[in-house]
Each structure stands twice: as structure tokens, then as C-alpha cells.
Amino acid sequence: MKTEDKRLTIREWSEDDRPREKMAKKGAQSLSDAELLAILIGSGNRDESAVELSRRIMRECKDNINELARLSIADLCKRFKGIGEAKAITIMAALELGKRRKTSEVLERKVIKSSADFFALFEPLLIDLVHEEFWVALLDGGNKVLETRRLTQGGMQQTIVDIPMLLKLSLEKSALAVAVAHNHPSGRNEPSREDETITRRIKQGCDAVGIRFLDHIIIARGRYYSFADEGRL
């Protein structure tokens, strides 16, 4: 008589294969991305354990956390059986905490010294977006970041920048220098004619009120373009 293989629940797995126990015993660094995700979602569905479901989610996201972060709550619920709104929100909250930690680490630095520092500051804010957003960093006279602020958000192709509002905010916060950044959801980091025009207008506005314009960074999926590095400010 043919017998069916018994399906093991997570509780029946070896302790080293259970993500919570594995973390407690060996530390968080010993867990794969899928195992960390399994801890967040807690349970799977009728056909998959939490770990199996998490592995499938990561596979469909090309084993890339940034691809996972680009999914919306609705996407997660629709595409993955066993992921309801509460679990999807938990995943998004954990990813957002990671982004904020990365940004905080940059803000704790004493000064911004290069375009790479600006990239490290802005990338966590822009990397996962499927629409364009335009951000500004306000700095003091020693290039220490006082605040980052989203100015506008737009569609897939372009966002409109209110330059008078940017200058007004800078003066209100007593910023002596500014840098701006926006993302290209397409993944191309070359500036468009509109990007060049915006950069020129911001430079003119900053010069008029005595604020140093340090850079305009275009971020595109792990790469960036710096107007300052290219000598175009």
C-alpha cells in the first residue's frame, strides 16, 4: 500500500531549522532573508509553512529585499496566499524601520563630504519607489544635515518642483547650504532636459538668497548621477 509523505510542521523541525530558535541560539546574522521574513509573518498557509512561503516570496522578488520593498500591501495580499493585510503591514513596517535606521546612521555623521555621502542619505528614502519624488537636505555652515524633507511627488516620469517653496523652507530653517535629490523609477540615472533646467533654476535661486547649492543627485536603483561631480552646478 502506497503511503503519503507526512508533512512536518515547523514545530517538528530540527531546532536549528526553526527560525526563532535559530536566532536565539546563533544570532540574527545566521538567518537567511527568508527566515527573517518567516519570523515576521509567523505562519504560512494550508500548503506552506511560514518558511516555505517566505522562500517563495523571496524567489519571486529575485531574492532581493529592495524588490520586496517595492511591493505594496495590496500586492503582497494579492500575490501570496497566506499573506493578509496584517502580515503585509508587518512586513512593510519592518522594511521601513530598516530604511530609517540607514538614514539615521548618515545623519549621525558630523559632516557631508561628497556626493557618495548624499547618495547614502537619500537612497533609503527613494530606492523602493515606483513614482518620482523630490527631496531636499538642509545643511548648516559645516555641511551637517539639519533636516531632510520631501518637497513633491509625481508620477512614473516626472515630478514638479516648487523652487520658491524650497528656498522659503531653507530660510525658515536657517540652512546655509542645500542639496536635492530625486529618483528615476525607470532605473536610468542620466539627467533629462527637465532635470537640467530644474538644477539651473535651483542654483540661480540659491545664489540670489546667499545659500550654497551643493549637489543634485539622481538615484536609480543603486546607482546615482551627481551634477556636482560632473561639474554642472
What is the distance in angstroms between the CA of the first residue and the CA of the last residue of the chain? Answer: 79
Place of cell 554642472: 232
Beta strands in 60-174 (DSSP E): 133-139, 145-153
Determine how many CB atoms are found less than 10 A away from the CB of residue 56: 17
Q: Are strands 212-220 and 177-183 parallel, antiparallel or unpaired?
A: parallel
Q: What pLDDT, on the 0 to 100 scale, is given for residue 46?
A: 86
The ranges assigned to domains in the chain are 10-100, 110-226
Q: Kind and range of the H or E element at 186?
A: none
Beta bridge partners of 218: 182, 225
pLDDT of residue 15: 47
What are residue 219's phi and psi, to 5 degrees?
-110, 130
Q: Which fold has domain 110-226?
A: Cytidine Deaminase; domain 2 (3.40.140)
Q: Could you report the per-residue pLDDT of 38-69, keeping only the tens digit for each? A: 999 988 888 888 889 999 999 999 898 888 98
How far, in Å, CA of 82 to CA of 87, rounded? Answer: 9
| Residue 93 neighbours by CB distance under 10 Å | 11
CB 180, CB 138: distance < 8 Å: no
CA–CA dist 67, 58 (Å, integer): 9
- Highest-pLDDT range among 8-17, 104-113, 133-142, 160-169: 133-142
Give strand ranges (E) for 14-73: none
Mean pLDDT computed over 77-90: 93
Closest of 26, 66, 29, 32 to residue 50, by C-alpha: 32
Give dist(CA 179, CA 119) in Å, integer.
Answer: 11
pLDDT of residue 6 exceeding 90, the answer is no
Res. 104: pLDDT tops 80:
no
